Every structure is written in structure tokens, then in C-alpha cells.
């Protein structure tokens, strides 16, 4: 091969190399342009995001300032409310203390008045008795008898008031008692006191296995009050007046239901039946202290007494008593 031909071959190869490099450079340039365009787009996006972040930061700063202002206002309001609550609490505590003092003074006044009136009443009853013995006029004897009945009613009311006062001051003496036996004792005591043996039938369904650790005097008094109510307010128009007693025991308490078919309690008086001086039926005489005393006793024993709604026309009282006063106090 001649020198000239070799030179041409070299030149041709060099041309191809240069051409190839030129194409590569063109492609690289295009890629750089594309990359630059992408970078520009990203930069624009970053700038936009930066502006949004700055705007959000400004909004957050404004919101934070508003929140701090509101928090300061709330702190001031809370401080003012706390002062008002403290003042109201102080006033309320004073009012409660004044009320307790007034109740104590009223309770003491009732006790002293009742106690002081027993002497004059006893003398009045004595005079009535002497008057009936000495007078021979039938009409005069009737007046003395009516006066004696009224004096006895007043004496019974005073006895109840004194008894309620003593219940409030009584120290509980806990002893184990059988519930069934106390129900029977209360019914027998009522018949003996009111001379009504056989007029009201007792349906006693209380299990003989239920025992309570409780104050025996208070629980006997409580059952006697309820039993006396059933006897006093029996319906003489019904051929078979009765008092039914049932009891259910759970882990901590016993629920005793006394149900009778007597004259019942007037609907408008049901809500106030445990209030002082409220008589459940206006057609019958009473001093309105029995069920109030029952409520006081039930509360004293950490229990309760409630008038239940009965679908069969009976008058039902539910007494709830703890199985043990000590356990109840510890809980």
C-alpha cells in the first residue's frame, strides 16, 4: 500500500472518530440541556416550597402568638375562677357549719321542749283520771275521757321526739342477731302493745339462717315501727288483713320487704312519706313520726328504707341493712 493510500486511511479513521465524538458530544449536550431543565424545574419547585414554608412559618408564628394570648387570658380567667371557688367554698362551708349548728340547736330545743312537756302532761293525765273517778256526770266523764285521749296522743308524740333525739346520739352496740327471730319478736310486741292479736295475719317467709351483726335495740325498734303501721292502718273492710315479710341476702347486705294489704298511702303523699309529721292517709289519725323515726334508724344502721311500687295494690316497704356494721364502716 502506498503512502498516500495509508494517509487517506488514517484520515478516514480519524474522521470517523471525530464524527463519533461529535455525536456523543451532541447527545451529552442534549442530556445536559435536559438535566438543566429538570434542575430549573426543581429549583422553581424548591423556591415555591420555600415560599410556602415561609408563609406557613409566618402563619404558625401568628397562631402561636394568638394561642399564647389566649392561654394568658385563660390563666387569668382560671385564677379569677379559683378565687371565686375558694370564696364560694368558704361561704358554703360556713353555711353548712351554721346549718349544722342550727340543726343541733333545733334538735336540742325539740328534745328539751318534749322532755319539759312530759311533766305537765303527766299531771294532766293524773287530773283526768281523778276527774273521771270523782265526777258522777256522764257528760263530764266523756269530756275527761276525750281530754285523756288527747293527752295520751301528745305524750306519745313527745315520746317519739325524745326517742329520735336519743337515736341520733346513740353509740352503736353491734351484736349477732337472727333476722327471723327479730321479725317474729316485733310482730308479737305489736300485738301485745296494741291488743290486736289475731286481727292481722303474719306471713313470715324470712329464712332462719340469716344473721346480722347489728345493733339489736335499733333493729327491733325499726321492725316494730313497720309492724305497728301495718296493724294500725289495716283495712277493716278486707276479710283477711295480713303482713307479709320476705328477705333476700347478698354478699354485703340483706333486703327485707314488708308488704301489707291495709288502707295504703295516698299517691300525693308517697314522696314525702318519710318526712316528719307526714301521715300517709288522711282518713286515719296519726302523729306522722313513725316512718320518720324508721328512716333515722335505717340511716343510723348504715342502711335505708324505701317505699316500693307495688303492682298488686299492697303497701311495700323495703329495708336494706348491712350484714355487718363494722365491715360497712371499713368499706
Digit-by-digit pLDDT tens for the chain (331 residues) are 677 677 777 677 777 777 787 777 778 777 777 877 888 888 888 888 888 888 888 788 888 888 888 888 888 888 888 888 888 888 888 877 776 766 666 666 666 676 677 788 888 888 888 888 888 888 888 888 888 888 888 888 888 888 888 888 888 889 999 999 999 999 988 877 776 656 888 999 999 999 999 999 999 999 999 999 888 888 888 888 999 999 999 999 999 999 999 888 888 888 999 988 888 776 666 778 889 999 999 999 999 999 998 878 899 999 999 998 754 544 4
- Report d(CA 94, CA 203) in Å as an integer: 51
Q: Which domain holds residue 321?
A: 173-330
> What's the confidence (pLDDT) of residue 106?
61
Measured distance CA(46)–CA(95) in Å, rounded: 70
Which residues make beta-bridge pairs with 215? 174
229 and 319 housed in the same domain: yes
- Residue 103: what pLDDT? 63
Contacts of 295 (CB under 8 A, 6+ apart): 274, 305
Contact 154, 124 (CB under 8 A): no
Residue 280 to residue 285: CA distance in whole angstroms: 10
Among 302, 325, 298, 114, CA closest to 219: 298
Name the pTM for this structure. 0.65
Burial zone of 173 (CB within 10 Å; 0-12 exposed, 13-18 middle, 19+ buried): exposed
**One domain, residues 242 and 302:** yes
Domain co-membership, 142 together with 8: yes
Q: How many domains, the chain? A: 2
- Find the DSSP H helices in the chain: 3-134, 138-169, 179-194, 216-232, 290-300, 325-330
Q: 316: burial class by Cβ within 10 Å (0-12, 13-18, 19+)? A: middle
Cell of 18: 471525530
Domain CATH for 282: 3.30.565.10
Find out whether 131 and 140 touch, Cβ atoms under 8 Å. yes
The answer on 204 and 290 residing in a single domain is yes
What is the pLDDT, as a whole number, of residue 330? 41
User: Domain check: are 152 and 268 in the same one?
Assistant: no
Of the three residues 140, 169, 198, the one that is the final residue of a domain is 169
Specify whether 151 is located in the same domain as 298. Answer: no
The set of cell numbers assigned to 135 is 265526777
Do 273 and 307 lie in one domain? The reply is: yes
**Which grid cell sits at 317?**
316497704
Quick check: 247 and 179 in contact, CB under 8 A?
yes
Q: 109 with 15, same domain?
A: yes
pLDDT at 156: 83
State the Cα–Cα distance between residues 176 and 289, nearest whole angstrom: 28
Single residue among 117, 140, 169 that ends a domain in this structure:
169
Same domain, 10 and 101: yes
Q: Is 252 exposed, middle or buried (0-12, 13-18, 19+ CB in 10 A)?
A: exposed
Helix axes 216-232, 290-300, angle to 10 degrees: 150
C-alpha torsion angle, residues 278, 282, 285, 289 (rounded to 10): -10
pLDDT value of residue 104 = 64
Residues 321 and 243 in one domain: yes
Domain end call among 169, 191, 218: 169
Position 63 scores a pLDDT of 80
* Same domain for 130 and 182: no
Angle at 325 between CA 319 and CA 330, to 5 degrees: 125
118 with 2, same domain: the answer is yes
Amino acid at each position: 500500500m502506498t503512502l498516500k493510500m495509508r494517509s487517506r486511511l488514517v484520515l478516514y479513521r480519524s474522521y470517523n472518530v471525530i464524527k463519533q465524538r461529535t455525536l456523543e458530544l451532541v447527545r451529552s449536550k442534549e442530556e445536559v440541556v435536559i438535566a438543566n431543565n429538570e434542575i430549573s424545574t426543581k429549583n422553581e419547585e424548591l423556591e415555591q416550597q420555600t415560599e410556602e414554608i415561609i408563609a406557613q412559618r409566618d402563619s404558625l408564628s401568628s397562631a402561636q402568638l394568638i394561642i399564647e394570648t389566649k392561654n394568658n387570658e385563660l390563666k387569668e380567667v382560671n385564677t379569677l375562677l379559683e378565687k371565686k371557688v375558694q370564696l364560694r367554698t368558704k361561704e358554703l362551708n360556713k353555711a353548712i357549719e351554721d346549718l349544722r349548728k342550727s340543726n343541733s340547736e333545733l334538735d336540742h330545743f325539740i328534745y328539751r321542749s318534749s322532755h319539759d312537756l312530759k311533766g305537765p302532761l303527766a299531771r294532766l293525765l293524773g287530773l283526768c283520771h281523778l276527774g273521771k273517778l270523782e265526777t258522777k256526770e256522764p257528760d263530764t266523764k266523756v269530756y275527761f275521757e276525750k281530754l285523756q285521749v288527747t293527752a295520751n296522743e301528745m305524750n306519745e308524740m313527745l315520746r317519739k321526739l325524745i326517742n329520735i333525739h336519743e337515736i341520733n346520739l346513740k353509740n352503736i352496740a353491734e351484736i349477732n342477731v337472727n333476722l327471723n327471730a327479730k321479725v317474729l319478736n316485733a310482730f308479737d310486741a305489736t300485738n301485745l302493745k296494741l291488743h290486736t292479736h289475731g286481727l292481722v295475719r303474719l306471713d313470715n317467709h324470712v329464712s332462719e339462717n340469716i344473721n346480722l351483726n347489728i345493733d339489736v335495740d335499733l333493729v327491733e325498734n325499726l321492725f316494730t315501727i313497720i309492724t305497728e303501721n301495718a296493724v294500725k292502718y289495716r283495712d277493716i273492710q278486707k276479710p283477711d288483713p295480713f303482713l307479709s315479710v320476705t328477705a333476700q341476702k347478698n354478699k354485703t347486705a340483706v333486703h327485707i320487704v314488708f308488704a301489707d294489704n291495709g288502707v295504703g298511702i295516698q299517691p300525693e303523699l308517697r314522696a314525702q312519706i318519710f318526712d316528719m309529721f307526714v301521715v300517709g292517709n288522711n282518713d286515719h289519725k296519726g302523729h306522722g313520726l313513725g316512718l320518720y323515726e324508721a328512716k333515722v334508724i335505717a340511716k343510723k344502721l348504715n342502711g335505708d328504707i324505701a317505699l316500693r311500687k307495688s303492682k298488686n295494690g299492697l303497701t311495700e316497704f323495703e329495708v336494706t341493712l348491712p350484714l355487718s356494721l363494722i365491715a360497712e364502716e371499713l368499706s
